[in-house]
Structure formats: structure tokens, C-alpha cells
Structure 1
């Protein structure tokens, strides 16, 4: 698939040169820092040396005082508290964190995860009824609830109070809960708006400790869970998220909770985890519980304090993940066939596909796969309790949520983010919705956004890459949205020996530039260049820099993202 190369705005050269001198670093690295808003020594110190003192005061969040007051009252009176959360990674880590934290102060506490297939996303009537019937008078809802106006009204009528801890965009009306903790509230002046759902739970725990003069360690022990939610929910790794991700990774790599440690072992990697490792090794396994069975199994694993129980739960969840992969692959193949056999679908700027027997738990993954293949806003739907329910995914730069908002007259419900959302639709409205979604996206999306873009931070000579360069580059981690691993471009490089296809469609090659060392490279999905690249031919590459470890030998290699013939 064709990709656009876009060199990011380079900023004021004088500022980057001064920063390079102040920090004694390569000018290109200084330029990367300037692009990320780091323009002086103090900014750099804050960035390179994060501390937990950089976390914001939780009481800056609207309604935090009311939330802590209500929880304190419940604890004093011995009320039954239910911790309620979504069934994805963010929701299950949030439930595990909040349940475990408040279990230190009461035994009158339980957790509840809605059944994806029977209850659907968010606050459910069944969950509220369960709470009322079993004497729960307070529900702490995590990673959901911001749009559950009618459900909270129903809970109030039964004498069940709610504290909502959510990070999704609110609707026009907020639920009438005791407290609504959501930095995206229009009236919330909390300085950072992009916390994960688990991050909101972490701030609630921090606030309780702060209000009661309790040791910070009581909530800081959950930083590994918080980091997993940040990685899995693809929230920006800046500000507080970067601090929590940094210390959460440290905890994961040195002293993870029992459940995560068991999951690390069964994933085949037990040390030196990065955000990418969490995204690809841990998050899918945690998610598999809710996709293929009961998300409570993931919470059980995360709460395990005994090695045997943690191992049992992680083994079970790993088996569910294997099953999930099979469903994912089969449904993706079926969806691709539907698109390729439809002249209407193949030529659209959107994809909306439906089949009644697709597994509800994996359609979000399938939507992501289709987006990767055709690179356009995509919705995958399946039948659920007489309605069509689905997952939507977008392309970089296009606000999917706003597009769905423009089609809301044809939707029963929807919610989510700029790039990912869930929706429910009546069967009779499918064709009308599909056509309107295509019309809305076609009229609002720039043609450029339908071509994948490689954002390049800086042009670099290969001779600039050495051990010091890489060591400083590593200190910019953890990498993720709004702080991605820097991508460099080098021009006029040549092959050293022939390029070679490895695996199905990957390319292994060695390159050099005038006066540079030879760099080994891996280019995933670019095997077509094996027959194009010739000896002594000059070409350009864009790439990230990584370390390859083989039989305890470490060497720098380039991970090629794109190749262009000069």
C-alpha cells in the first residue's frame, strides 16, 4: 500500500541548537525534543527524569470531594460497595485496582463486570438490579457511565448511589450521580484530560490517601495495572500518563503484581517490557477473557495473590486468547471476501460490513484489521439480542466520533473516542445508516487521510548513530501516542550485499551511507523491494532505531518503515 512521507515541521533551528549545547546531545535529537514541546533545560529535566511528584492534585478534578465524602460515609457505615467496570483491558484493570485498593478498608465490597453478550457495554439494568437485590448501596463505575443518564436515574429510584469514573466524552446531559469524575466534562478544570479509565480509578485512590493522610505506597503499588491500561487503551503518553507509564513499566519489570507476573511468563517474555510489549503480549490476553468468555476471569487473575491461582487463571486466559485468534482470523477472512465481492463496498471511502453469526467479542479486532487493509473508516456489525451491534475504527487524523454523531438519528446508541467507538443500530436502519455514514465521511474527510502517512521527525546521517545517540533516544521512552518512537530519514544509502525476503513478506537488508558504518535492517511487509533494489543504487529509507539481541549479543538495527528510490 502506498504511503505518504511527511517530514514534521522542524521548528526554530536556534532553539534546537541551544538545547543541543545545553544537554550535550546530537542536534537531531534536540530537534526531536523541540517538536515535542521541550525547548529548554528545565523542560528536558522534567521529561527525562519523571517523578511521582509531577502527578496532579486529584482534588483538582470536578466532584472528587463529593466522591471521597460518599466513599468515606459508606466505609464508616459498613455499606456494601460494588466496583463496576467495562470488560476490556482498561475496565478490568480499573476494577482490579479500585477493588483491591478499597478492600484494604472494608470487606463489604465486590466487583461486577457486565456480560458483553447479554448486557452489552456500560451500565446495565441487570447490574443495577443485582446491586439492589443484594444490598449494595454504592456503585463505583469505572471506564463507563458518562452517558448512562437513564440507568443512573433508575438506580437512584432504587436507592443505589453511583460514583462515575469515566474518561469518555460526555453527552449534553450528565448523569445524576453522587459524583461524576471525568476530565472531559466541560466544567472540569483538571489540567490533564487524557487519563485512561483505570487512571481515573488511580486518582480516586490517590485522593482517598491524600484526604486521610495515608502513605502514598497504598495507591502507588498499582502503577503496573495503571500502565497496562494506558498502553492498551492507546491514550496519549504525555503529562501524567507518561509519568504513570514510566513508573508502571519499572514496577512491571522489577516487581509486578502476581497476576501480571504469571501472564508475562505464559506470554514467553519475562523482562525488559516496553509499552509495545504490553500492547502485543499482555493486553490481548487480558482482553480475551471478555471477548471469549467472562471478563471476571481477567479480574480474578489480576487480583491473585497466590502464585498457583495466578498461574491457573493466566493459563485459562491464554487458552481463550488462542481461541480468540482463530475467530479473529476466520471472521477477518469472511469480511474481506464480502468487501472484495461487492462493487459498491470496494469503491467506497468507508467500510460497513455485517454478518449475524460473527462473534461479538472479536469484531473490534476485525474492524482494526480491515482498516489496516483498506485504510478507511470501518464498522463491523453482528447480531445481538435482536439488534445490530458493532465496533468502529478510524484512520489517523479523522474524527470518527463526530461522523457517528452526524448519523445519530439512525443509531440506538453509540460512544467512544475519535478513533474507536461502539454502536448499536436497529436492523431495519442498516442500509440507511451505511449510506449516510458513507455520505458524511466522503464530505468531511480529506483525500490525503485515506493514504497512510509516515511522520518523519528528522533527517539523519547514518554516521550520527552511535551508542550515545541510542542511549539518549531510549530515555525518551515510554513511547506511545503523542510521544511516538522517533522516525528518521536517511537519503543516498546503498545496499551492502543483496536484500533477502524472510518470512512471507518481510525484507532483510544491510545498508550504509558515505562514511557510515554498515547497519543491518528489517523491513516488515516490504518484500517487494527485493527485486527493485540493485547494487550501487542510491535510495532513501525512513526508520526507527532499535536494539537486536541474539544469543546475548546486542547490536543496533534499523526498523525500516518505508523505502524510496532516489
Structure 2
């Protein structure tokens, strides 16, 4: 790993902010590195306020969308709430549909089948709407590129309102309204909302017409916080406010469906990390292993007994998903090892029997292992489908655009995308993808980077600092958990490998001068020899609390050692 230390702000800026907030220099430095330089900005960061959310009508087409929904309700039309099968899509469908159903009965939900219909708006979904008398479809977390599908719906006199956050193509669909803060002609002040976030802005706008305030909509923020965490959007600006209050709802008054999931795990207080690694995989497992509608059913259920039944079904889906994920990852790693001479800058693997529901997870695992832009292909009907994942700093979406001659369709983000192509184009695509990445990537991006916020002394680590760091949460892109570096450390002679096959590194305790603190390095057991015999070393770490037999102590959560 390469360690990159963030530039330290000017000392006069640190002094000014430290004096204004009455905090020490280290805290002021961390805030300045996050773009917070005044008392008022710090107050908004540490005490997010719902009233600081933007007016939803600043979003292009919002007034048109609200007018069309109000017209549909006035005319007694049937409304179909349509969303993608991942966490962002299913939470968005649960949010918008349950809000509309709270005052209007003619609302149903539709999640496309991952295997039969694929990603996004589908012809089958539109046919379902026609067959069942729906005249308005609200598409969430998808649709901004569905030009042909929306045209097909228009022929059947079905209107579309699109709520998306993906990059639009050159032509927008001919929908009644296209709500997407990434539209070039949209001047909404914050363009990093997830799909569920755009759905929330829609219900915020609808609610304002009915005299509701933001306080009336807090109930829905548990869904939105889950989507924000799972979709890895920046936890800055509006997303920070929404995630902050959404986590409060999850921990204090979660909806029945979340309560049923939380009851299965032994966790008192959930952080955004817990949401990402505990709640989100379970919601995702429904669409991966069976059908995304199972997730919507759980998230909208109001009867606890029924929710427990749904949650146990989803728990089984997640267990099955885990087994498949491990099996396919192993097979893919073997394939990469066998074909290493072909792959210098990318990892591209394919097997026709791999389960389409887990190839995105497998792509992430391979990227962690080999740290290359990665694609995992499987057979999907008469086509090949793939999930793409990238490394920090490299835009895989742009790289796929450079291979568009061989792709049928693709969509996604800078770091994650999906695509389909004809089987006979696989080898052409694979060679082109390697060529495009080789010509455009900075080679140093192929070595994992740890970005260090500050170099500190062990004596700087104390309960007061920990109390302040806790208030930096919720963490995520744009506001990652602070990472520190300390130099000239020594183990006191008690370092050892712990866990299965001594996979983890336990330091009891690490010393710098007269100051000592424990440390744990997960999956760092192979670095034990770097710290034995009182050899001096440098370490990169976050600061963590360790609870053992009722006692809470501070420890270093090690990231790397040199």
C-alpha cells in the first residue's frame, strides 16, 4: 500500500478555527481538511438540521411531477411505483409507495426480475401496467436512459415520472417529468442524492402541497439512510443531514421490517457501517437470490409477526448468497491466476454458470485482491452480462464508453457499472477494455492508497478526542473516518496472531516513549514479523473503542504497518 498524507492546512487557519470552536489543533485540522473553516460551518457539520434541506421544487421538473401525481389522484388513476432490485431501488419503492398509500389507495409496486427482465425499466413491466390498468408509472433509481421503454409506454397511453440519479445520456426519455440532479439543465444545489433520495424529494414536494413539514416525513428516513449507505454516495451536504436523522430513526423508532432484521443480530446501536454491512446485504439478497419484491414486502410490512416471517426468509437468501459468493470468488481467482500473462491492467473473468445475482460482489472481492479495474461476466439469456468495479481514482464508466463498439448496453457510476454484450464480442471487448485502461490509467492507481489525515503522537489519543471524533459520524465518501499515522512505535513483546489461522494481528500494547495503547489489525497476521523483537515501525490506523467484559478502552484499529 502507498501512504499519502493529506496536506496540512496553514497554521493561521488552524489557529483561527481552533480558537473559534475552543478545540485543539488536531480537531481544527481535521475539520479544515473537510472544507469546514468557520464556526457556522462547524455547527452545521456537528449539528445537522432538517430545516437546512433544500426546497425540492429547485429540482428541474419537480412542479410538473407533483402536478401529474395530484391529477392522477384527483382522477382516481392507478399509479405503479417501479424501482430497481437493489437496496437503493427497493428502499425507494417502499418509501414512495408507502407515502402515497398513506392517503391514496390506488397504488401498487413493481420490481423487475433481475434474471428475466434485467436492470431498470422493462417492457414486461410496462405490459404489466397496461394489463392492470395503470396510467402512471413512477420509476425510481432507474429510467433516465430508458428512451425506448418510455416511448413504448407512451404508445400505450401510460405516463412516466422518472426519479433517477445516474448520468443521463445525450437524449432524455420523453417522460412527463425527469427528476435527476445530474441533468445538465438542472440547477438543484446538491447533485449527489441517491435514487431513494430523489424519491424522498418527490414526497417532500407532495407533502408541502398538503401543508406537511419535514418533521412529518422523518418516519421515512430510515429507508433513505440505508440507501445512502448502501449506494456509497457522498455523505456530505444534504446526504449527511438525511443519513444523520435516518440513523436516529433506525436506532430509536425503526419501521417494523427493520426491527425484524435488527432482532436477528446482537447490536445495540447501529452506525452507517452496520447499515452497509448488516441491513443492506440482507435487503440486497432478496433481489440477488429470489426477487426484489420480497425486500419491498418486508420494508412496507406493518405486522410484526409477518415481518419476522419475511425477515427469516431474507436471512436464508443472504446465507445462500454468501455461500455462492465464496464459491464463485474462488473460481474467479483461479481463472485470474491461470490467465495472468494476459491481464496487466485489468481483471476480466467469465463463466456461463455463475449466478448473476452475486457477480457484483465477486467483482468487488477481486478488486480488493488484485486492485485492478475488474469485470465479472456470466450468461444471461442469449447475452453475457457483467458487473464492473473500479479502483480509487479511475472512472470505469468512461472506460466502458471507450469500448462501446462491443457493448449492447451499459450504465452506472464512476466506480461501479453493469453491461450486456453478445457472446461473440466477449474477446474483442476484453482486449479493448485492457487497451483503454492501459492507455488511460495512472499506474500508481493500481497500488492501493491509504490517505492519512494527520501524523499524531500516541499521547494525543484520549477519551476527549474520541468523543469529538464520534461526532464526525456518519462516515462515508466525502467524510471518511479519520486515519492517523504514528512513527517510531514498538511492540512491548506481547504481539501475536489471533483468530482462525492467526489471521489477525493483536498488539498488547504498542509503545511510543512512555505512552502505550493496544492495537488490532484485521487480516494483518502476516505482518507479525515486522513488529517482533521490539523492532521500530510506523503504523496507519483509525481510533476505535474496544469493549471487553463491560470495560471500554481505546485502541488502534490498524490499517497498515511499515
Q: Distance in 2 between matches of 1:45 and 1:218?
A: 24
Partner of 1:300: 297
Q: Which range is displaced more, 180-189 or 488-497?
A: 488-497
Q: What is the CA-CA distance between 1:268 and the residue it aligns to?
A: 3.1
Partner of 1:280: 277
Cα deviation 1:290-324 (Å, max 9, x = unaligned)? 00001111110000111101100010000000000
Q: 1:104-115 alignment to 2 at 5 Å? A: 104-115=102-113
2:510 is aligned with 1:514:
no
2:348 is aligned with 1:349:
no
Q: Distance in 1 between matches of 2:446 and 2:187?
A: 35
Return the TM-score normalized by structure 1.
Answer: 0.98
Contact 1:28 1:459 (8 Å CA) reproduced: no
Aligned counterpart for 2:444 among listed residues 443, 448, 451: 448
Q: Distance in 2 between matches of 1:307 and 1:359?
A: 32
Q: What is the CA-CA distance between 1:12 and the residue it aligns to?
A: 1.5
Q: Distance in 2 between matches of 1:512 and 1:145?
A: 56
Q: Distance in 2 between matches of 1:18 and 1:464?
A: 20
Partner of 1:57: 55
2:500 is aligned with 1:500:
no
Partner of 1:247: 245
Partner of 1:538: 536
Aligned counterpart for 1:326 among listed residues 323, 326, 332: 323
Partner of 2:363: 367
Partner of 2:89: 91
Q: Distance in 2 between matches of 1:259 and 1:387?
A: 36
Aligned counterpart for 1:408 among listed residues 399, 404, 407: 404
Aligned counterpart for 1:186 among listed residues 167, 174, 184: 184
Partner of 2:556: 558
Contact 1:83 1:139 (8 Å CA) reproduced: yes
Q: Distance in 2 between matches of 1:552 and 1:198?
A: 39
Contact 2:167 2:413 (8 Å CA) reproduced: yes
Q: Distance in 2 between matches of 1:162 and 1:260?
A: 30
Contact 1:81 1:139 (8 Å CA) reproduced: yes
Cα deviation 1:199-243 (Å, max 9, x = unaligned)? 011100100111221243442210110000000000000000000
Q: What is the CA-CA distance between 1:40 and the residue it aligns to?
A: 1.3
2:118 is aligned with 1:120:
yes
2:286 is aligned with 1:289:
yes
Partner of 1:385: 381
Contact 1:162 1:178 (8 Å CA) reproduced: yes
Q: Distance in 1 between matches of 2:375 and 2:211?
A: 48
Partner of 2:454: 458
Cα deviation 1:49-102 (Å, max 9, x = unaligned)? 111011111000000000000000001111000000000000000000000000
Aligned counterpart for 2:469 among listed residues 462, 466, 473: 473
Q: 1:13-92 alignment to 2 at 5 Å? A: 13-92=11-90
Over 3 Å counting, the alpha-carbon distance change for 1:78 and 1:218 in structure 2 is farther
Q: Distance in 2 between matches of 1:37 and 1:508?
A: 35
Contact 1:101 1:218 (8 Å CA) reproduced: no
Q: What is the CA-CA distance between 1:544 and the residue it aligns to?
A: 0.3
Q: Distance in 1 between matches of 2:28 and 2:488?
A: 23
2:418 is aligned with 1:422:
yes
Partner of 1:314: 311
Cα deviation 1:420-457 (Å, max 9, x = unaligned)? 00000110100000000000000000011000000000
Contact 1:194 1:236 (8 Å CA) reproduced: yes
| Paired residue total | 559
Contact 1:80 1:136 (8 Å CA) reproduced: yes
Q: What is the CA-CA distance between 1:388 and the residue it aligns to?
A: 0.1
Q: Distance in 2 between matches of 1:295 and 1:197?
A: 16
2:534 counterpart SS class = coil
Contact 2:218 2:246 (8 Å CA) reproduced: no
Q: What is the CA-CA distance between 1:402 and the residue it aligns to?
A: 0.4
Q: Distance in 2 between matches of 1:558 and 1:524?
A: 11
Contact 1:75 1:105 (8 Å CA) reproduced: no
Partner of 1:216: 214
Q: What is the CA-CA distance between 1:284 and the residue it aligns to?
A: 0.5
Return the TM-score normalized by structure 2.
Answer: 0.98
1:511 counterpart SS class = strand
Q: 1:154-165 alignment to 2 at 5 Å? A: 154-165=152-163
Partner of 1:490: 486
Partner of 1:201: 199
Q: Distance in 1 between matches of 2:83 and 2:111?
A: 5
Q: Distance in 1 between matches of 2:552 and 2:437?
A: 47
Q: Distance in 2 between matches of 1:305 and 1:324?
A: 27
1:128 counterpart SS class = helix
Q: What CA RMSD, in Å, does the superposition of the two structures yield over aligned residues?
A: 1.0
Q: What is the CA-CA distance between 1:418 and the residue it aligns to?
A: 0.1
Contact 2:78 2:133 (8 Å CA) reproduced: yes
Contact 1:122 1:144 (8 Å CA) reproduced: yes
1:221 counterpart SS class = helix
Q: Distance in 2 between matches of 1:9 and 1:62?
A: 38
Structure 2: gaps (5+ residues): none
